[in-house]
Amino acid sequence: MSTSEPAGAEAGIRRGSRIVVGVDGSDTSLSALRRGARIARELGCRLVGMTAWEQPVAWPGYYGGSIAPEADARAVLEDATRAVFGTEWPTWYTAVTREGWPAHVLISESDGAEMLIVGSRGLGGVAGLILGSASQYCVEHAHCPVLVVPAAGRTAHDRNAHAVVGAEGG
């Protein structure tokens, strides 16, 4: 790489391209958003913080009329954005909420993106899994490279982890 090329040029990341980060309010998603912000800032990319929501299934006699999943998702994303950027969001950052299963929403958003970043574990699922179901699904189905950010303070030795590598074209 010559000194006149911008950082990331050797990896094929284009200045102004889009990086998508899955945000669910968990500690690992905040770490993913922080990592995405550093990468986007360094490489001159646009960053999209993405939160997905689903309409809960109503069971007779168990539906709570005050459930507002879209508003809750917006609040989660705004709180995460404030935690990472403070009150002044950079112009290269966009916060987006979409309806749907988080992994499907992220896969759709990964189309045309340079990179998808997710935390290794979100808020759902079974405690103790090394990689959450949405993260695993993204690694297997994304349209771009996927960066999985591990939980803070955990080492490979602590969790008996294996390397997870996503490949294009598969």
- pLDDT for 161: 46
Average the pLDDT over 29-41 and give the result: 95
pLDDT at 45: 95
Residue 53 CB partners (closer than 8 Å, separation 6+): 69, 70, 72, 73, 97, 98, 99, 100
DSSP collapsed to 3 states, 84-147 = HHCCCCCCCEEEEEEECCHHHHHHHHHCCCCEEEEECCCCCCCCCCCCCHHHHHHHHHCCCCEE
Question: What confidence category does residue 63 fall into, taking pLDDT thresholds of 50, 70 and 90?
Answer: low
Closest-CA residue to 19 (of 116, 137, 139, 91): 116
pLDDT of residue 80: 96
- Which of these, 44, 14, 29, 166, lies nearest to 95 by C-alpha position? 29
Q: Read out DSSP for 45-86?
A: -EEEEEEEE-PPPP-TTT--TT--HHHHHHHHHHHHHHHHHT
